[in-house]
Structure 1
Amino acid sequence: MTANTSKSTEGAHEPGGFGALRRLHLSYAGEVQGVGFRWASKLTAERVGCTGWVRNEPDGTVTQELQGTPDQIATYFGAFSRVFAAHPIEYVIAEKSDISPIEDERLFTVRF
């Protein structure tokens, strides 16, 4: 797995605030469809307490919005990187940007 983690700080909230919500908009490219990527994203997000959504795109990429505290998001990426350890897949984070959190969001969903 490789990741291009170029990041926009536009919309970032409370720098260094571990309790502050952060929301990322991500686009993944590579082996991300037909391998359980969305469902693994959902299970991992629920396990670590993140909210948001994930969706397959017609061009073969996957789009995701992931929301949580900085610690939850870091834990998500660490846990998700281990999901496909037994059957590695190749993917990159093609786009990553901070966007405004959704204060009342409670779930992580798979969109169709």
Structure 2
Amino acid sequence: MIRKHIRFYGWVQGVGFRWRARHAADLVGAVGWVRNESDGSVSMEIQGTEEEIDRVILMIEQGSYVRIESMDVRTVPTEPDEHGFRIR
């Protein structure tokens, strides 16, 4: 089990990104949160296996209108008591 903080840049706001992230995380069983940032990027903390996290990102990218141009990714400590995936 790992947890990553990911900052997404590109066409990521106003295109259903956060909804897709929550839906994808729910489908694969990952937990965490996602939120829009004031600079037009989107931040996400997601916890699960490496494969689950990769699947969530692929599912987000497959959506219409979303175009991820770059990502900043760092590993952060897990939160063992977290349940579900929230839009902030």
Question: TM-score surpassing 0.5?
Answer: yes
Matched residue type, 1:62: V
Distance in 2, matches of 1:75 and 1:32, equals: 17
Which has the higher Rg, Structure 1 or Structure 2? 1
Q: Percent identity of the aligned residues?
A: 36
Alignment of 1:35-74 (within 5 A): 35-74=15-54
Aligned residues: 88
Corresponding residue of 2:76: 99
SS in 2 for 1:105: coil
- TM-score, normalised with respect to structure 2: 0.89
Matched residue type, 1:108: F
- CA deviation map 1:46-95 (0-9, x unaligned): 0000000000011111000010022322322333332x1xx343223331
8 Å Cα contact 2:10-2:70 kept in structure 1: no
Pair 1:34 & 2:14 matched:
yes
Corresponding residue of 2:5: 25
Distance in 2, matches of 1:61 and 1:77, equals: 15
Unaligned runs of 5+ in 1: 1-20
SS in 2 for 1:33: coil
Kindly report structure 1 stretches of 4+ aligned residues shifted beyond 3 Å. Answer: none
- TM-score, normalised with respect to structure 1: 0.72
Compared CA separation, residues 78 and 59, structure 1 to 2 (3 A): closer
8 Å Cα contact 2:17-2:60 kept in structure 1: no
* Alpha-carbon RMSD: 1.4
